[in-house]
């Protein structure tokens, strides 16, 4: 879908709130895994539960925050086979319908994820057979997907309002030309 969630508000406030924690978690994961490798190799004493913490804590956080950052930055895959050949009102209607469909699907993922997070919390979900508590990360799923749903709704509204028929503002070449100052 063309027409990303490239609003100034999302870029100014939401993007740093997503990228900073993602970078911190990524650096923490790299440090943790590297320390584990060194301790395993040189001290014959690896850090306990490194694989579980990486698999159930670090990677889901990085992936989910990455989905959201890609949506806000307009770096998601765009397949405009239908809307690419349309113009005017028909193009805006198809784009709005597509964004509404995405909003509905991501809302469904968020709603389902909320139930799963509550269940994981209720049973004290752990990472595999370890005693590492994994349930807090489950709450990130509904948060991310419900935020994506709101962003998709905003894109649908923008699709309908755009008089020029929605240019591909999410493509890197157009985004670069928009940000360059003469």
Written in H, E and C, the secondary structure of 48-60 is CCHHHHHHHHHHH
Indicate whether 89 belongs to any domain.
yes
The answer to whether residue 57 scores a pLDDT higher than 90 is yes
Mean pLDDT, rounded, for 84-88: 74
Q: What is the pLDDT of residue 178?
A: 46
Query: pLDDT averaged over the chain?
Result: 84
**How many angstroms separate the CA atoms of 53 and 139, rounded?**
16
pTM of the model: 0.77
More confident residue, 116 or 129: 116
Domain count, the chain: 1
The answer to whether residue 125 scores a pLDDT higher than 70 is yes
Indicate whether 101 belongs to any domain.
yes
Indicate whether 3 belongs to any domain.
no
The answer to whether residue 168 scores a pLDDT higher than 50 is no
């Amino acid at each position: 879908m063309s027409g990303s969630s490239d609003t100034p508000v999302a870029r100014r406030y939401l993007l740093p709130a997503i990228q900073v924690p993602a970078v911190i978690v990524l650096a923490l994961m790299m440090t943790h895994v590297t320390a584990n490798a060194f301790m395993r190799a040189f001290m014959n004493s690896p850090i306990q539960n490194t694989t579980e913490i990486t698999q159930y804590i670090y990677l889901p956080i990085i992936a989910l925050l990455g989905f959201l950052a890609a949506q806000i930055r307009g770096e998601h895959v765009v397949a405009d086979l239908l809307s690419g050949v349309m113009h005017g009102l028909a193009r805006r209607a198809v784009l709005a319908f597509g964004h509404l469909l995405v909003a509905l699907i991501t809302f469904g993922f968020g709603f389902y994820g909320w139930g799963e997070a509550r269940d994981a919390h209720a049973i004290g979900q752990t990472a595999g057979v370890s005693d590492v508590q994994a349930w807090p990360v489950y709450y990130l799923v509904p948060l991310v997907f419900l935020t994506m749903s709101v962003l998709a709704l905003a894109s649908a509204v923008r699709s309908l309002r755009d008089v020029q028929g929605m240019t591909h503002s999410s493509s890197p070449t157009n985004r670069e030309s928009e940000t360059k100052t003469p």
